[in-house]
Amino acid sequence: MTRPRASLVSLSDTPWYHVVTRCVRRAYLCGFDRLTGRSFEHRRGWVELRLRQLAGVFAIDVAAYAVMSNHVHLVVRLDAERASQWSDEEVLRRWRCLFRGPVVVKRFLSPATRAGMTEAELEVIAGLIATYRARLADLSWFMRVLNESIARAANREDGVRGRFWEGRFRSQAILDETALLAVMAYVDLNPIRAGIAETPEASAHTGIAARIADLQGDGEEAEAAPQPRQGPSHPPPTPATASTPPETEDTEPTADARSAELWEAALNRLPPAPLMPFGNPAECPAVIPFTFDNYLILVDSLGRALHPRKRGAIPAELPDILTRLGIAPERFIKHAGFLLKGFGAAIGAPERMTALAAQRECRYLRGLSRARALFGSTQSMALVGAA
């Protein structure tokens, strides 16, 4: 039975989500079109950069990603608590990095005009701040801005109109640390599974490749985001402190219907944000609860075992992180190639999926048998992020 997205993306269940969005008809609208001989590989750089830019505006951290030829995988963490700590001015300035918004927002952000605002206008501002604060920690709004901005740029390049993405997006709740490790490895290894990369560091437009490049000190920024068709360039603003981006005359919308119109010129000036770090949640909650060296060894070992042109032997160097999480290496490698296909709206340990099904008042969640086969019991799972 189809469920509303509000029940599928619920912070009371988990802040972690795996997201997949696909091009229309699963066509190669981001890769190389063998039929026409045209290459759209540069669009993968658009997606990667826009993703990193939006992570610096929203209260949403990106843990892993893979930009493939016709679809995109993301692993994100929603942080509503961080958004709740932003000041009213910071919320409005962050929103103005994405959308023009109504005139009353511009007046409030200007000290010269704020003093003359009426009580009714201030009440409107208070309502907008509450709305924008919620949206800046909302997965649907994050994906809307990401997908819409890329679709507009691609359609301009092709000289066409219409859909670029197949639909909104598909999301899976990640219920525990075991599932998080499995999903991140699955996402980072997508190019190797597809046979288009030999190693994690050679997997272009993935989170693991970006992390390795940063670790080596020679990381390069993603390809340039789609640029506005006219207008001078400006230094990239920092969402929390930047002044309102300049406008041309007669472009400020006056109707509420236009308050959610993407401000693409401002989007293109945003600096890319770093990926979510690894660490100990006991010291900082906004981290991936593993050590980066363990994760690198795991991804590298799994990548060699999963490579389509190599035998699927289990590498002896697999770290004991799997043992600590209650996962047998044989089971992990067996299921890693098609990990997420057997799951529905959530992925996690059997007991977590059973509890979520009871909470949602449904008979079962698809993937329970796969969870038993892959994860087994994780009731004694210990924190992996500790040093």
- 321 pLDDT tier (thresholds 50, 70, 90): low
Q: What's the predicted TM-score (pTM) here?
A: 0.81
Given 267, 294, 324, which residue is the final one in a domain?
A: 267
Given 210, 242, 267, which residue is the final one in a domain?
A: 267
Residue 325 pLDDT exceeds 70 = no
Q: Is 190 a domain residue?
A: yes
Cβ atoms within 10 Å of 293's Cβ, excluding its own: 11
**How confident is the model at residue 232, as a pLDDT?**
30
Nearest-angstrom CA–CA distance, 381 and 387: 16
Same domain, 123 and 19: no
Nearest-angstrom CA–CA distance, 366 and 58: 31
Q: Is 4 a domain residue?
A: no
Q: Is 386 a domain residue?
A: no
Q: Taking a C-beta distance cutoff of 8 angstroms, is the pair 171, 18 a contact?
A: yes
- 377 pLDDT tier (thresholds 50, 70, 90): low
Same domain, 131 and 278: no
Q: What is the mean pLDDT of the chain?
A: 80
Q: Which two tokens stand for residue 147?
A: 């997908």
- Give the chain's domain count: 2
Question: In this structure, what CATH number is given to the domain that contains residue 145?
Answer: 3.30.70.1290
Q: Is the dihedral of CA 83, 86, 90, 91 positive or negative?
A: positive
Same domain, 155 and 209: yes
Nearest-angstrom CA–CA distance, 12 and 198: 39
Q: Taking a C-beta distance cutoff of 8 angstroms, is the pair 137, 17 a contact?
A: no
Q: Is 380 a domain residue?
A: no
The predicted-structure confidence for 148-188, as pLDDT tens digits, reads as follows 999 999 999 888 888 899 888 989 999 998 889 889 998 99
Q: Which of 158-162, 224-228, 305-309, 360-364 has the lowest mean pLDDT?
A: 224-228
- 333 pLDDT tier (thresholds 50, 70, 90): low
* DSSP conformation class of 345: S
Same domain, 151 and 251: no
- The contacts of residue 187 (CB under 8 Å, 6+ apart) are 18, 64, 65, 66, 73, 74, 75, 206, 207
Residue 260 pLDDT exceeds 60 = no
**How confident is the model at residue 303, as a pLDDT?**
77
Q: 33 pairs with which residues across the strands? A: 38
Q: Is 67 a domain residue?
A: yes
Same domain, 115 and 212: no
Q: Are strands 170-174 and 346-347 parallel, antiparallel or unpaired?
A: parallel
Q: Closest Cα to residue 211, out of 290, 118, 154? A: 290
**How confident is the model at residue 83, as a pLDDT?**
96
Cβ atoms within 10 Å of 207's Cβ, excluding its own: 26
Q: Is 356 a domain residue?
A: yes
**How confident is the model at residue 207, as a pLDDT?**
96
- The contacts of residue 108 (CB under 8 Å, 6+ apart) are 92, 114, 117, 121, 122, 125
For the chain, the residue count is: 387
Q: Is 34 a domain residue?
A: yes
Same domain, 330 and 218: yes
- 265 pLDDT tier (thresholds 50, 70, 90): confident
- 258 pLDDT tier (thresholds 50, 70, 90): very low
Provide mean pLDDT across the span 261-285.
89
Pick the more confident residue, 134 or 354: 134
Same domain, 169 and 91: no
Q: Is the dihedral of CA 190, 293, 331, 381 positive or negative?
A: negative
Highest average pLDDT, of 48-57, 100-109, 240-249, comes from: 48-57
Same domain, 235 and 363: no
SS3 286: coil
Residue 142 pLDDT exceeds 90 = yes
Q: Which two tokens stand for residue 219?
A: 């990381």
Q: Is 121 a domain residue?
A: yes
Domain residue limits at 287? 10-81+140-223+273-374
Given 267, 295, 324, which residue is the final one in a domain?
A: 267
Same domain, 121 and 49: no
- 316 pLDDT tier (thresholds 50, 70, 90): low
List b or e across 30-55, with b for residues whose CB sees 16 or more CB atoms inside 10 angstroms. bbeeeeeeeebeebbbbbbbbbbbbb
